[in-house]
Structure 1
Amino acid sequence: MAAAPASSASSADEVIVTSGLTKRFGRVTAVDGVDLRVPAGVRFGLLGPNGSGKTTLVRMLLGLVHPTSGSMEVLGRAMPRHAGRVLPQIGALVESPAAWANLSGRANLRLLDAAGPGGRRRDRRARVEHALEQVGLGGVDRRPVRTYSLGMRQRLGIAAALLRAPRLLLLDEPTNGLDPRGITEMRALFTQLNAAGTTVVLSSHLLGEVEALCTRIGVMDAGRLVLAQDLAALRAPTGRVLLRTPDPAAAVALLDGRVEARADGRDGALLTVRHDDPGALNRELVAHGVPVTGLSTQRRSLEQVVLEVTGAGSDRIERAGAAGWGVPR
């Protein structure tokens, strides 16, 4: 039975609302009954291995692929029915950035700007120059795009997404091809845009990149949305403290069964202690003369969270009946 459609008047605090959103390609279900809500003003990371349905979901939100069933609203309007009103407010980069290879980056952006609705022609040059400056291509010359490096092409694709100061950014693997410095620069740019009011939604299979940038995450596995939650809540304290000490024997003896793990090193050991207050633990150790060189609250990593809610592996294709990530089921 098909899921009930989303309300025709979604909350003003949500920029994306989907209900039972499903897309099948023949016998393959790429997106399977996704109910997703993205609040306005967040930096939302959509995680999942290659083939989990992330890109298909993003393409449906942009009206590039029509759903088999279910419904979706973007910026308060049903898609794809109201694409003409919604898309001018969205900046998007899906898969590899497209460009006219024989034209310069500036010429590409001017053509894209001219093709889009709204925007005064006399302001076009300023919009293009601002977008290039934002992504670090302000000094680019008249060379054709076919001579650009992969990283420069990626920056140009992001610049195209920023031309019209969008309310919503939908980015699919936006750091592909960028070197570490470029990744850091784009992370700072997306954070700056978000602080100015743009909601940022990016899909990626890179856990570290999403963890460094996003405030809320969704996890897809085999076409299904298996988790959607604020990152801070997911990484709440585990009730354990990581203790580093040059005298692990004394610490183990004092803590009397509260040490759950021990990793010895050249300068002592790292102990995992069942305790929820690093300050109180430190006072106890110092009072008994146990030296302490480091204390920190243990939190789950995003990697641990994702592995808990998804199958094992990445880019795997198992035999029929076997568990694991692979092509969308």
Structure 2
Amino acid sequence: MSGTVIATHGLRKAYGAVRAVDGIDLDVRAGDIYGFLGANGSGKTTTVRMLLGLVLPTAGTVEVLGRPIPKAAREVLPRVGALIEGPAAYGHLSGTANLSLLDAAGPGGSRRTRKARIAEVLEQVGLGGVGKRAVRGYSLGMRQRLGLAGALLRRPDLLVLDEPTNGLDPQGIHEIRLLLLDLHRTGTTIFVSSHLLAEIEQLATRVGVLDRGRMVLQDDLATLTAPTGATVVTTTDPAQAARVLGDRVLTSDGERLVVRGSDPAEVNTALVGAGVPVTGLVLQRPTLEEVVLAAATGSGDRVAA
């Protein structure tokens, strides 16, 4: 699979006078782990539902796997695994039985391989030992894992996930992250909607940021967090370091100085040669949080307080 996997143009959804999604242009490419970021209420879930043909847009177009949605939904959706808003399940049935019903209800699921595929995905999401238990006895995190298992049943080309780590403890979040990275390595393109910046920063290759329905940022993560051309110096004698480096010092905060220059070795040589103790040297890179906050600030009065 190559090329663009999800593309929207001028996508908009209005509920009366309220524009939940306001003219966004998504660009998700084959092989991406695309982090779709935004605060709760920013329009992420509405966008995801339009991508899957569950909600019709007020204006604009959607293409998934090169085909128009919702027109080609019957053709496209068997190749897409999705988990949106929260997993639904029959509480009196086991996890295995729920997945069997899900697989039988949709197109593209082979009955011959169903049992093996269900066992495989339950193991993948950490429910291998509890698949026969009734779902009403599952915790919220276990239900979330079961929903993810359902999304993986048909070994999709594209995985669309809305807050997939909701309800999971830190260990569960870590395990789901590793699972998604494994799926990515095998060629699955992943679109994951989340408000957890730190988690997306460890996972995504590309990000888009939604703020009150508008796209305020979209780029490769490596580009957004590239070195700034400055070096961060940590020293127990910041006053002497500042005297040695002079106007190269951009900012100073306690024992931490940000210095103009992208060669830490050269900065280190200058300081050590002057007898300044250096305890840390690293190229300055903005965090994803800093990038997102800057983008949101630039969107003016559309930013939530």
> 1:258 offset after TM fit, Å?
2.1
Provide the C-alpha distance between the structure 2 equivalents of 1:214 and 1:60, rounded to a whole number of angstroms: 22
Residues 1:236 and 2:226 aligned together: yes
Unpaired runs of 5+ residues, structure 2, are none
Alignment of 1:42-61 (within 5 A): 42-61=32-51
Matched residue SS, 1:249: helix
- One of 73, 76, 93 as aligned partner of 2:66: 76
Q: 1:41-72 CA distances to partner (integer Å, 9 max, x unpaired)?
A: 11000011111111101000000000111111
Q: 1:170-228 CA distances to partner (integer Å, 9 max, x unpaired)?
A: 00000000111111111111111011010000011111011110010001111111111
Report the equivalent of 1:25.
Answer: 15
Provide the C-alpha distance between the structure 2 equivalents of 1:326 and 1:216, rounded to a whole number of angstroms: 24
> 1:285 offset after TM fit, Å?
1.4
Letter in 2 for 1:260: L
Matched residue SS, 2:112: helix
Report the equivalent of 2:209.
Answer: 219
Change (3 A) 1:141 1:121: closer
Report the equivalent of 2:262.
Answer: 276
Report the equivalent of 1:323.
Answer: 301
Matched residue SS, 1:323: helix
State the percentage of identical aligned residues.
Answer: 59
Matched residue SS, 1:23: strand
TM-score (norm 2): 0.96
Matched residue SS, 1:66: coil
Report the equivalent of 1:114.
Answer: 104
Q: 1:71-104 CA distances to partner (integer Å, 9 max, x unpaired)?
A: 1110011000010010000000000111111111
Provide the C-alpha distance between the structure 1 equivalents of 2:197 and 2:128, rounded to a whole number of angstroms: 30
Contact 1:172-1:203 at 8 Å conserved across structures: yes
Letter in 1 for 2:268: N
> 1:141 offset after TM fit, Å?
4.9
Deviates more, 1:271-280 or 1:87-96: 271-280
Matched residue SS, 1:121: coil
Provide the C-alpha distance between the structure 1 equivalents of 2:260 and 2:110, rounded to a whole number of angstroms: 63
Contact 1:12-1:76 at 8 Å conserved across structures: no
Matched residue SS, 2:278: coil
Contact 2:83-2:151 at 8 Å conserved across structures: yes
> 1:325 offset after TM fit, Å?
3.6
More helix by share: 2
Residues 1:252 and 2:242 aligned together: yes
Letter in 2 for 1:180: P
> 1:311 offset after TM fit, Å?
4.3
Q: CA RMSD in A?
A: 1.8
TM-score (norm 1): 0.89
Alignment of 1:162-201 (within 5 A): 162-201=152-191
Q: 1:129-160 CA distances to partner (integer Å, 9 max, x unpaired)?
A: 00101101111153211111111011001000
> 1:236 offset after TM fit, Å?
1.3
Matched residue SS, 1:175: coil
Residues 1:295 and 2:273 aligned together: no
> 1:289 offset after TM fit, Å?
1.9
Contact 1:127-1:163 at 8 Å conserved across structures: yes
Provide the C-alpha distance between the structure 1 equivalents of 2:292 and 2:286, rounded to a whole number of angstroms: 10
Provide the C-alpha distance between the structure 1 equivalents of 2:98 and 2:112, rounded to a whole number of angstroms: 17
